[in-house]
Amino acid sequence: MSDPRVDRTKRHKLIDIITIALCAVICGADSWVAIELYGCTKYEWLKTFLELPNGIASPDGDATRTQDTFARVFAQLNPQQFQECFLSWMRSIQKITSGEIVAIDGKTLCGSFDKASGQSAMEIVSAWATKNRILLGQVKVDSQSNEITAIPELLKVLELSGCIVTIDAIGCQKEIVKLINHNWQ
């Protein structure tokens, strides 16, 4: 994944920032403050597999700057490139078993609506492997569309051979069923 930051401003490796954030979120972190706290708390463990050349926190100990670093880096990442890399990583570590139930569903992200700027709530379509309890992929629904256009994009990146796919009524479109059937064979 390409690093969007300016070289002279890089104090922390991109892989370190992303890995800390992913580990923190897996452990329940739901804010930049929680991610930074996780990184500081788990520093000794994290440095067993990450380089962390400048540690977790900023040199002057200003936690706000550290939280800003996580937020700023993630805001600059290309979402499509991040998703491709994340899905590739997920495919490499997950094992789908024959008969696995994969639930495809759309959700509106809580707190994504911003009345002041006129930004409507963000909708995501996700595929969840129920037995392995793992997210296989997700696609943002275009603001001018609905789940019907996002579901095919999600199905194109999934390997569903031998899986049972569940989907609500909006996904019962001929083209979507064809994609699931093609992906299943």
Would you give the distance in Å from CA 128 to the centre of its chain? 13
Confidence (pTM): 0.56
The ranges assigned to domains in the chain are 7-77, 96-184
CA atoms in the 13 A half-sphere facing the CB of 89: 12
Long-range contacts of 78-86 (CB under 8 A, 24+ apart): 78/1, 78/2, 78/4, 79/140, 81/1, 81/2, 82/1, 83/137, 83/138, 83/139, 84/157, 85/1
pLDDT in tens, 93-141: 666 666 789 999 988 877 766 667 766 778 899 999 888 788 888 888 8
Largest pairwise CA distance in the chain: 59
Say whether domain 96-184 belongs to CATH 3.30.420.
yes
**Choice between 31 and 159, residue whose per-residue pLDDT is larger:** 31
